[in-house]
Every structure is written in structure tokens, then in C-alpha cells.
Structure 1
Amino acid sequence: MKCGIFLLLQSPGMRPSQETYDHALEQGVLADQLGFDYIVAAEHHFSSYGFLPCPQLLIPILAERTQHIRFSTAVVVLPLRNPIQLAEEIAMLDILTKGRVEVGFGTGYQQYEFDRFGVKLEENRAMFEEALELITKLLSTENVTHQGRYWRLPETTILPRPITKPHPPFWRATSSVSTMAWSLAHGLKVITGGTASSMDRIINNWHLFQEAVELAQVPWPQEFIIQRGVYVSESEEDAKSMLPHAVWHTRTARGLSANALPVDAGRAMTELTAQGARSHLSG
């Protein structure tokens, strides 16, 4: 089993951005020193839910300050990206990290973000699949042409070329059997779960993953990547004091997904109180 840390660069209280980034870099360096296997960074936009619009810019800095730890994104939101430019960025990351990078992709889910990029959320899956196809071709072959629904490209070879062949490992975030199976069949690792995932949900996702492996007809074993929030403390009292922040995270994600949460100057206006945490758990 391998373990990593997840960097969301989240700040319910809107602390200064410089402080948020300095703290994330300190966490990454410490994770490498402690022997963790991965640093995983998430892309989000326009709210205090996440201060990291481009994980691809953070990873090279962490790579320069660390020795052994590997990196991934979880996730780059493909429908919000130009896949041609992203393929170039992935090749650069592979070189700058000396082959220590993997790339997690997602379809995206926050209506709030999609609206502000002028992208239709209901087309995210079709855009994802076309973008992934194009990125894979650009990284693994030369003289690529593409005529798709969303992107067109005359004969092109991206430079630089990745050092990992045919390309760095890819992940996909999902929790459905059909999407897991599609991802496995296309050579992607599967990441599932979430910060507030219960053990029951994790176990259920494991069973779904086993079904997906059979459906995809890929060899066993396959890597199964789980994201789950963990807080290590010397006292139960201290651990409970962090509960409102976990509840804030979950409520904010749901509110932004439905585009139903007020955001004022970037601050997601989610209740952050112990009372709110208790009502969340009881509800």
C-alpha cells in the first residue's frame, strides 16, 4: 500500500494567498521527508474552496524541493482546458520532475466553475473523452492530426517530448462502475472516494471497482486509489475541533456543484460552526 497527501489549498477564512501557498509547499517538503509516496494536487477556481487553479505550476516547485516523492493531479478538469496546450504542459512536467509525475483527469462537477468559463457542464463527458484521446495521441506519437467535435488540429508534433513512454500514467476520478470500466479499458488508473467518504462508501466503491475490472476485461490486480480525509491528533478533543472544517468542505462542494452557494469576493459563504457540524452529522 502507498500513501500520499492531498493539496487543495483551501481556506474557509480567506487567509492571504501567499500564506496558503507557503503552507502547501511546507507540507509537500515534509511529506517527502516523512516517506510519503505521493503529493496529489487538485484544480479549482474562483472560490475559497480551492486556491489552486493550475496544479501544473505548483508541481515543478515541489519537485525541485523534494527527492523521492511522486506527484499527481486529482484532478485537472479536462473540459476547462485546451488539450493541445495541456499535452505540452504534461510533457514539460515529466521532464522537470524527472519522470516523477502522473496526471489525474476529471470531467468536473461544479456548475459555478463551468458557468464562469462559458463551458456547458452537460457536455463535460463528451469533452473529456475527446480531450483525453487527443492528449494521449500528442504525447505518444508525432505528426498528429485531429478532427473532432470540440477541437481540430492540423498535423502537429508537440515539443518537448515526454521522457516516460508512451506518456506519464493517467488517473481518472469516478465512482460509477461504467466509468471505472471505461477508464480501465483505456489504460487509466481509477481514483475514487472523497474527503468526507465514510468507510461504508469506501468499501462499496471497492466492490464497484472489482465489478469494473471484470467488465473491462483487464488483468488483475489493478491499482485502486482512494481519497479520504484523515486527521491525526494526540487528543479526541483536538480532533473534534477540526470537524467544522470538514463539514465546511463537504457543504461547500455540494453548494458549488449545484451553483446554489453564494460566493462573495471569492469567499464561499458556507456556515463554519460547531452547531452546523452537529446538524450535518445528525441530518
Structure 2
Amino acid sequence: MKFVLFYLPTVGTRKQIESGMLPGQNTQAYQSMLYQITEQVKAADQLGYYAAAFTEHHFHIEGLEVSNNPIMLSLYLGMQTKNIKLAQLANVLPFHNPIRVAEDIAMLDQMTKGRAVFGMARGYQKRWADVLGQVYGVGATFSDKSQSDARNRQLFDEHYKIIRKAWASETFSHKGDIWTIPPEGLEFAAHNAVRDYGRGMGEDGTIKEIGIAPKLYQNREIEIWQPFSHSEDTWRFCATENIVPFMLNTDDTRMKRLIDAYHEEALKVGREIAYGDSIGVFRDVLVAKTDEDAHRLAADGNGFVWPAWFGDLGFNEALRREGETGKIKGDFKDLCERGFEFIGTPDTVNRQIEHLVKTHNPEYLLMWQYPGLVPHEDMMRHMEMFATQVMPNWTDSRETKSSSIPV
């Protein structure tokens, strides 16, 4: 199993956030966050964690998700580490120029010598998505088959195709419903350097293809991740494209349905993989000396943020059990009872991971981290205890797992 640290990141303490002091705009609070994630990711680099990942959300003056540019955060941490991979969960593709995204990821990959992981998503937070999406005529999506949802999907699909083309060859062209690359009749005849030293110019002096520079480090195949869909269609798309999807779901039946869909679709396109390969599971993870200490600390982390923020955004659906109807509470007690909280002593968390591995065998465990809300010294102690008393039990587990599908 590969262990990935996930940061929103939060800025400020719970008291600062609840007081309405807007810690997201407070320089001291932001600098404290940068210091804490720097020390934590540097430690993770030495302790053998696989990757660190950052979300993309905007306008979070409240301090809950101050990560408007996950590529820049990836580079910031990449310049201070040697081995750990740097990921985004995720770049929200419908709201970005796809060529700029392809270029920025390639630069990150070059500057970190092949440690970039590309994460992509469609965008669900209306406050920022509907503001920044105006230029493309798109807003947040709730996968409801609405006109807005269809437009979001259209942009996501085309932007993804353009990004892959930009990485795949020296030069490329694209003609879709939204983009024509390069525009037809783009004259550049006076610039002989393109004809003499470059690629992509036709005999008539017009640009037929363009290429990005730099390319990905050593022209490698980059890992691509996608969070946090409940849709079988999305999981089948990921399987076809060799993308790692990450799930929020906690119900074993629902989890198995998504993994089954991925595995079946992967086999259809000739990907001979073990059950659970290229699958990520997302959990709040916190290790402490006692179960009581872990619960006390986590109550101010995800125990505060989930019901205060994510529950109202629809995330409670990820907690729903098969056949369950009615409203999901989504409070800290509920999160623990439904299995989203992997918190406690190393022994407690080992037993939770054991169930996850035996039941679903995921290749990745995405671990929610809360700088500011959980004191820095407790976070550092948690990371060391997890790396030394939990991780060694599971880092080689996939080598001995069967490729058969659990019944």
C-alpha cells in the first residue's frame, strides 16, 4: 500500500476560525501553516510516505481550504524534499486553460525531477466555481445531468484530451467543440526560426501544430489521479484511461461496486491488474499514544471541519450505507461509527487498515492532515508513529494479495 498525505490545507486554529477572524487572510496564520506543512512533508519525505497532495479551492477567507494553487504548493514543497511525490487533488479542469495546465505540470515535473503526480477534478463548490467559470460559461457540477453538469463534463473531457496530447508528442493539433489548436489560418511566415529550427509550420507559412516546452521529465508517463466520485461511469472512465480514482465511500457494498466496475473495465482494455490495483481510498487518519488522545485531537480536525463545511456540500452521501434512506448526521460520532475515521493507537489503526486490505485491497490510502487544527507537535508525533508502527505492516502487502475479486 502507498500512503499519501492530503492537505486542504487549513489555516488557523479552531478558535481563530470560529471567532470569524478570517485566518485565511491573516499573514501570521498563513505563514504558520506554511511552516507546519513544510516540516511535516519534509519529515514524511524521510519517513517513506509516497506522496503529499493539495486541493484546489478559492475564496476561503474562513481558513478551511486555503489552497487556490495546488501546483504552486507542490513546487514549494518539492523544492524542500528529495523523494516524496507531489500531487494535486485536484486541478479543477473546466476552469483552467488546458495548455497552461499541461505546461505548469511539466515544469513541476522537471523541477522535481519526475516527482509530479497530476490530479484532476470537475469542481463542486459553487461559490468559486460559478465565479471563475464565467469565461467558459460553466459552473459547479453535482452530477445531476443538468445543462450545467453537461457543460462542465464537456469542458472537463476536452481539457483532459488536450493536456494528454500536449504531453504525448513533440507537436500536436486539436479540433473539438470548444478549442481549435492552433486557430485556423494562424500566419507566422515571417519567423523563419520556426521553419529552420522548430516544428509545426506548413509550407504556406501557417502554424499547423504547436508543442509545449518543457516536456515532462524524461518524457515519462505521469501518474494521473481523480477524486472523489461516487459514479460508476467515472470509475469506468478512469479504468480505461489508467487513472487512479480515490473514493470517499465507507460502506463496503458500495465500495466493492465501484472497485468491481474499475476492475471489469480495466480488463476490457487489456489492463491485467490485481483487484484493488490503481485504487485509492480516502480516510481521516490520526495515530496517538491512546485511543482517547487520538479522538480528542481528531475532534478538532475532521471532527470540526466535516460537519461545519463538507457535510453541507453533499459529502455526507459518501457515508450512506447500502439501502439506507433519510438524512445522514455526519457529525464526528457518525464519522467514527461509519468507518471514515482511522484514528487511535497504532494497534487500533492497524486493525482498521487490515479490514480495508482484506476487503478491498486498495493500492493507495489517502490520509487527511489538519495543520493548525491539530497541534503541530501532535501531527509530527502522529506521522512518525504511523510510519514506524503502521506503515511497515502494509507497504509490501500487495505483493502477496491475490488478483481474484472478493466475493
> Please, what TM-score do these two structures have when normalized by structure 1?
0.83
Say yes or no: does 1:46 pair with 2:59.
yes
Say yes or no: does 1:182 pair with 2:237.
yes
5+ residue gaps in structure 1? 259-275
CA change 1:41–1:164 in 2 (3 A) is farther
Letter of the 1:183 counterpart: C
Say yes or no: does 1:23 pair with 2:8.
no
Say yes or no: does 1:120 pair with 2:176.
no
Would you say the 8 A contact 2:238–2:262 is kept in 1? Answer: no
Superposed CA deviations along residues 233-276 of structure 1, whole A, max 9, x for unmatched, are: 12333223232432332231243569xxxxxxxxxxxxxxxxx7
| Aligned counterparts of 2:161 and 2:333: Cα–Cα separation in 1 | 45
CA change 1:237–1:166 in 2 (3 A) is closer
CA change 1:65–1:280 in 2 (3 A) is closer
Instruction: Give the structure 1 partner of residue 126 of structure 2.
Output: 111
Superposed CA deviations along residues 88-118 of structure 1, whole A, max 9, x for unmatched, are: 0011011011011111111111122212212
Instruction: Give the structure 1 partner of residue 284 of structure 2.
Output: 229
CA change 1:280–1:70 in 2 (3 A) is closer
Instruction: Give the structure 1 partner of residue 361 of structure 2.
Output: none
Instruction: Give the structure 2 partner of residue 268 of structure 1.
Output: none
2:263 paired residue among 181, 193, 213: 213
| Aligned counterparts of 2:219 and 2:282: Cα–Cα separation in 1 | 27
Superposed CA deviations along residues 21-40 of structure 1, whole A, max 9, x for unmatched, are: 22111111111121111111
Would you say the 8 A contact 1:109–1:257 is kept in 2? Answer: no
Superposed CA deviations along residues 54-84 of structure 1, whole A, max 9, x for unmatched, are: 1111222222211221121111111121111
User: Where does 1:21-100 land on structure 2 (aligned, <5 Å)?
Assistant: 21-47=34-60, 48-100=63-115
Moved more, 52-61 or 3-12: 3-12
5+ residue gaps in structure 2? 24-28, 141-148, 183-208, 316-330, 338-407
Superposed CA deviations along residues 152-201 of structure 1, whole A, max 9, x for unmatched, are: 320211111112435412112223221111111122122222xxx54x35
Say yes or no: does 1:247 pair with 2:260.
no
**Corresponding residue SS for 1:43:** coil
| Aligned counterparts of 2:230 and 2:314: Cα–Cα separation in 1 | 16
Moved more, 184-193 or 94-103: 184-193
User: Whose relative contact order is higher, 1 or 2, with alpha carbons under 8 Å and at least 6 apart?
Assistant: 2
Would you say the 8 A contact 2:243–2:278 is kept in 1? Answer: no
Q: Tell me the matched-pair count.
A: 261
Letter of the 1:132 counterpart: Y
Would you say the 8 A contact 1:189–1:223 is kept in 2? Answer: yes
| Aligned counterparts of 1:70 and 1:135: Cα–Cα separation in 2 | 20
